[in-house]
Chains A and B, each alone.
Chain A
Amino acid sequence: MSRVKIRNLHKYFGKNEVLRGMDLDVAEGEVICLIGPSGSGKSTFLRCINSLEQPTDGTVEVDGNLITDKHAKLDKIRENIGMVFQQFNLFPHLTVLKNITMAPMHCKKMPRAEAEAKAMALLESVGLEEKANALPGSLSGGQQQRVAIARALAMDPALMLFDEPTSALDPEMVGDVLEVMRRLANEGMTMIIVTHEMGFAREVASRVVFIDGGVIVEEGPPAQVFGNPQHQRTRAFLEKVL
């Protein structure tokens, strides 16, 4: 059964057409890496999946819920879709622990003790249990991003979206974050990742999707897209980044 079903997605910013009709199906447990030049529309595409951007036309279905419907219960659907941002976007006025427990306690009415136990388990899994009572500002970028992943996972999402999760990190921090994502993928999480980490995409992705000019130019298993790209634009892009 497909977790995500995107049909004919169009997005305009003013008169500028950023997405020009994109379709994508993502099956349960798949890890999709979206690659492409900057300005190609891959981040906008990702943000349409949880409706942070409203598509101009087309439909997005996540777990059978039509998120593009006017009457969709957005908040409920979003509980099921975790998102990790390039700039982490941790809540700087709350401790690491409270960053993680806020949504489960507020949206799911989870009792504090249960939410905190869950948060501690998640922090342990990303190797940051000793930072539970620190404020985000005192953490390195890599640590903040790992907390952000834990925060998203605390809602038990069926799908995780990653928007260039390592692009704002110092090089030596990238590995820790990718390691957490790799483990998540191995545990069977359905993930859609916008990334410039070609090595990671090659190793972890079940499918690589190359986007350019607001359309999906080419998609396939990493070995195929990286090893034997079919389109000139894919080849030109890969030559530059590999």
Chain B
Amino acid sequence: MSFIELLGESWPRFLSGMGITLELSVISLIIAMFIGLGSCLLNISKLWPLHFISQCYINIIRGTPLLVQTFFIYFGVTKAIGFTMTALQAGIIALSLNAGAYLSEIFRGGIEAVPAGQMEAARSLGLSKSAAMLRVILPQALRIVVPSVANQCIITIKDTSIISVIGLYELTYIGKQIIATTFRSFEVWVMVGVFYFIIIYALTKLSKLLERRISLVQSEDSQSA
């Protein structure tokens, strides 16, 4: 069987695996954004219990491997509480908790990178602290963090391959399956790699586009308008 024939034959399964990988990535990352922003706001709070909760969460996630977190959620938590969840659900929980912790630190860095004078100017106009945060600080912080957030998205997309260990039919798992029947490891892993590369390269381009769109430096023509 030639490379082309192999690709042609396994194409539908690769596509379904890529679909699951994308589904897992997109849902996890969306949830992770909310978790990250929430944890970040707790973290910068002046109330120490809120800061403490966020700090515990971030340290636990950063201090343990994603593989262990995944097993813990899929086997450990379900056993302890006595209910079942699908591999996809467990994967989404593990990945969103994992990425959320890193995003929380990225967001905090972004907020702290906004000059202190911005908060002072907003407060001096009479805006409350939360209004100043929402209208002045966060919009600027989000611009600052776009490259780092894109980077975290890339890491999380690649981390979806770890979820294959609990039997989710995503791209890496499909690759292993195809090898089990065809014994063509070299070609199959190249194909799996190419599929991941396509997703991530597209995301990289998207992030560059976004960076340009929200840039605060006006281009020549929009300035004269």
Contact = CB atoms under 8 A, between A and B. Distances in A.
B131 A93 contact: no
B127 interface: yes
Contact of A76 (B122, B126, B136, B143): B126
Contacts of A82: 124
A171 B115 CA distance: 25
Interface string A76-119: 10110111010101111100000000110011000000000000
Contacts of B223: 134, 138
A239 interface: no
B218 A75 contact: no
Given A106-B131, A134-B223, A137-B216, A151 B120 contact: no
A133 B225 contact: yes
Chain B residues touching A, range: 20 to 34
Interface in B104-127: 115, 117-118, 120-127
Given A93-B140, A137-B217, A107 B126 contact: yes
A79 B117 contact: no
A150 B88 CA distance: 55
Contacts of A93: 139-140, 143, 216
Given A76-B126, A151-B125, 17 more contacts: A52-B123, A52-B124, A78-B123, A83-B124, A85-B120, A87-B117, A89-B115, A90-B121, A91-B136, A92-B140, A93-B216, A102-B135, A106-B131, A138-B218, A138-B223, A152-B124, A152-B125
8 contacts: A50-B124, A52-B120, A74-B123, A79-B125, A83-B121, A91-B136, A106-B131, A137-B217
